[in-house]
Amino acid sequence: MGSMADLFWPGDERADGHFTDAAFLRAMVEVESEWLGRELEVPELDPAAAEAGGNPVIALVRLLREQDLEVHRGLTSQDVVDTALMRMAMHAVADVRLDLAAIGHGLTGLAEQHRDTPMVARTLTQHAVPTTFGFRVAAWLTAVLDADEDLARLTFPRQLGGAAGTRAAMVELGRELPTGIPRWHTTRAPVTRIGDALVGCTDACARIANDVVTMSRPEIGELAEGSGGGSSTMPNKANPVLSVLVRRAALTTPQLAATLHLAAAQQVDDRADGGWHAEWATLRDLVRRTLVAVSQTADLVADLRVAPDRMAANLAAAGDAVLAEQRSMTDDPAPTYLGDAGAYVDQVVARAKAALG
């Protein structure tokens, strides 16, 4: 959806039609349609009308009632908004998981290919001991699998409680009502869990991007983005643009998830006086930024250039100091230096294959 692409957030168009105004409106109309049992057309809604009632449903219902008087009977705004948000979130999370799977497959291949590619490990920025690039990729893959596990556990409940959760009008109307679903109009774990899980995704993407920006520094030169970004003034420069933009996202999403928790912690009465309203744009931004970040990371991984020769050269230049620890442990004149790194790579690869299919 070009209309949502955003000069202030390069790459935003990757989030496509998720959580756009059009998608929100459509999802709300779907909720009303299902309640009514008949399909309603999606009207043109002036966003400015949303303010009058503090939420977009009131203006929507007014328009829909021009089509059908019986619309929205027994529902409250929160039923419609919450259910619509959860539908949109469900679709978005499914797309996030597709990209995580692509990242996971790419990393699995890299880990296998570089299972035994030696490089120098770095701790607190300094050379530490030998490791392999495959072992490093296993760490990236672990982050991605952990993030996906949290997404897989999410649920996207509908909301159906009427004016104050008691379904009073619905019962008067003689509607058959589902039982067993929670009412979460003032308890927002369904929202905060989504937020927390999405931040887990940008954490995982940043884990990869941080290494790429570091290892693609010219003095290190062990990695490079496949197609570096240009410069407006220095034509020969190839910037690790995807990594930079992924890192950008991960600087912002934890605070968005915190806002969802703060909103949850403001719940009061039978509908909150601000906490509920703070969720919508926050969740939107969190979802879209995560979608952009996983998409950019998928491209990054797919096109990553690995330089085993530079890894070997940096390890050699690190010299004997990085071998000192192991030598102090053994009389073996030729220790392997790599511990069980290879076996651990195999183990993470097996986990990935089981998880991602």
- Choose between 47 and 226: whose C-beta lies nearer to a second copy: 47
Under the binding rule (CB under 8 A), the answer on residue 297 touching a second copy is no
Answer for which of 37, 180, 333, 357 binds a second copy (CB under 8 A) is 180
For residue 239, the cross-strand partners are: 229
Q: Is 216 a catalytic residue?
A: no
Residue of 3, 65, 231, 327 marked active site: 231
Question: For the window 24-63, what string marks contact with a second copy as x by the rule CB under 8 A?
Answer: xx-------------------xxxx-xxxxxxxxx--x--
Task: Name the segment binding a second copy (CB under 8 A); options: 35-43, 91-99, 105-113, 324-332.
Answer: 324-332
Number of residues located near a second copy, criterion CB under 8 A:
174
Structural contact between residues 294 and 96, judged by C-beta atoms closer than 8 angstroms: yes
Q: Is 231 a catalytic residue?
A: yes
Residue of 87, 122, 247, 271 marked active site: 271
- Encoded tokens for 302: 């797919």
Under the binding rule (CB under 8 A), the answer on residue 8 touching a second copy is yes
Under the binding rule (CB under 8 A), the answer on residue 186 touching a second copy is yes
Answer for which of 92, 108, 284, 286 binds a second copy (CB under 8 A) is 284
**Alpha carbon separation from 207 to 157, 166, 290, 294 (Å, rounded):** 31, 45, 14, 12
Contact set for a second copy, span 148-167 (CB under 8 A): 150, 153, 162-167
- Choose between 102 and 145: whose C-beta lies nearer to a second copy: 145
Question: For the window 95-134, what string marks contact with a second copy as x by the rule CB under 8 A?
Answer: --------------------------xxxxxxxxxxxx--
Minimum separation from the CB atom of position 357 to a second copy (A): 20
Contact set for a second copy, span 221-280 (CB under 8 A): 228-241, 243-259, 261-275, 277-278, 280
Task: Name the segment binding a second copy (CB under 8 A); options: 90-98, 107-115, 136-144, 301-309.
Answer: 136-144
Using N-to-C axis directions, what is the helix angle for 77-113 and 56-67, rounded to 10°? Answer: 110
Give me the DSSP letters along 135-169: HHHHHHHHHHHHHHHHHHT---------TTSS-HH
Minimum separation from the CB atom of position 95 to a second copy (A): 18
> Sign of the CA dihedral 184, 187, 189, 195?
positive
Rounded to the nearest 5°, which phi and psi values hold at 347? -65, -45
Answer for which of 31, 77, 83, 105 binds a second copy (CB under 8 A) is 77
Task: Name the segment binding a second copy (CB under 8 A); options: 36-44, 99-107, 198-206, 301-309.
Answer: 198-206
Minimum separation from the CB atom of position 30 to a second copy (A): 15
Answer for which of 36, 193, 308, 312 binds a second copy (CB under 8 A) is 193
- Specify the amino acid at residue 93: V
CA nearest 1: which of 283, 19, 97, 9?
19
- Choose between 102 and 147: whose C-beta lies nearer to a second copy: 147
- Encoded tokens for 176: 């058959």
- Encoded tokens for 251: 């600087």
Answer for which of 15, 16, 72, 307 binds a second copy (CB under 8 A) is 72
Give buried/exposed letters for 292-314 (b at 16+ CB in 10 A, else e): bbbbbbbbbbeebebbeebbeeb
301 by DSSP, 3-state: which? helix
The burial of 76, by beta-carbon neighbours within 10 Å (0-12 exposed, 13-18 middle, 19 or more buried), is given as buried
Give the number of other Cβ atoms within 10 Å of residue 274's Cβ. Answer: 10
| Look-up of token digits 């009502």 | 177
Q: Kind and range of the H or E element at 43?
A: none
User: CA-CA distance, 147 to 202, in Å (whole number)?
Assistant: 9
- Encoded tokens for 103: 């990242």
Under the binding rule (CB under 8 A), the answer on residue 337 touching a second copy is yes
Minimum separation from the CB atom of position 157 to a second copy (A): 11
Minimum separation from the CB atom of position 328 to a second copy (A): 8
**Could you give the residue numbers annotated as active site?**
231, 271
